[in-house]
Amino acid sequence: MAPTLNKVHVPAGIPNEVMVNYYSQRAKAGLIIAEGTGPAENGMGHAHMPGIYSKDQIAGWKKVTKAVHENGGRIFLQIMHTGRISHPANMPAKADIIAPSAVAAKGEIWTEQHGWQPYATPRAMTTSEVQKMVQQYVKAATQAIDAGFDGVELHAAHGYLMDQFLHPDTNQRTDKYGGSIHNRVRFILETVAAVSHAIGRDRTGIRLSPYSQVNDLQHHDEIDATYEFLADALDTYGLSYIHLLTEPATPAMLIAGIRSRFRGTLILNGDYDAIHAEQTVLNGLADLIAFENPCVSSPLSGKFEMTSSEPLKKPNYACANC
């Protein structure tokens, strides 16, 4: 089950009984990747976003993972720092909006207090803050394991903090974290190395979206080269998986290039129905296909179960935020 922000009202980012029921009812999906969850106060850019940095949040997630396991499922937590995709009204008091560079996203974001508001201009992170953020991800990952998760997915997609480092329009840094492809992937690779060392390579996955234009991402000339370089580097860490978004249309050559470079599990997520998904796996283009719509659209009053004999009536489109 692919991750999606559920927009459930969660004061102080603490998972509640609605989320316990939601995820336990979908345990039959097999592997659940839980929704984007903030690793720190300054990463809570969306309204109604859960966190994994406080004792109460960890306690709330323990109830979720316990319920999923009791119903036969497995569950990873998607760790998502929003970076510049934020507004002060959504953030805890005194939390700065930070990003690789002080470049505001175009568009608006929903706030509970004031409705739709323009994105705020973030403060550029110092080199020291980037290095400290690596450790914040490590702390979040270890706390996710403490909360009973089977692993974590690092969200490096859809224009959030990790993805902001990859793109030259959102990363205008002149230190070792900006400029060349090698430098722009550095923060992600340092985080991958530290997290996989802390909780285990088999418990660490990553989410990528090469051609997404969500959250004011802009296409650039080095997209393919960036993700091929990244796939080569990620392969050396022996991660559990790469979770690759294929919509909007990611060129088949790039998907094949990532597949050939990364020897771990490749999960694809995008415009798939049951037949297309089965053919993709049988043809060796991916190991797994992640679905969202058939999972999320299942009513909360009933348990979700999807069998291979039930073709999907509608194609699945990946969550715009997760």
Task: Please give the Cα distance from 116 to 252 (Å, whole number).
Answer: 37
Which class for 126: exposed (0-12), middle (13-18), buried (19 or more C-beta within 10 A)?
exposed
**Does the N-terminal peptide bond of residue 248 adopt cis geometry, omega within 30 degrees of 0?**
yes
Residues 6 or more apart in contact with residue 27 via CB below 8 angstroms: 67, 68, 69, 71, 72, 73
Task: Please give the Cα distance from 58 to 17 (Å, whole number).
Answer: 14
Give the gyration radius of the chain's Cα atoms: 18
Tokens at 55, concatenated: 């004792």
Task: Please give the Cα distance from 80 to 124 (Å, whole number).
Answer: 18
- Active-site residue list: 160
Residues 6 or more apart in contact with residue 316 via CB below 8 angstroms: 2, 269, 270, 271, 272, 273, 291, 292, 293, 294
- Pick the closest to residue 197 from 122, 135, 244, 266 (CA basis): 135
Residues 6 or more apart in contact with residue 57 via CB below 8 angstroms: 12, 13, 14, 15, 50, 51
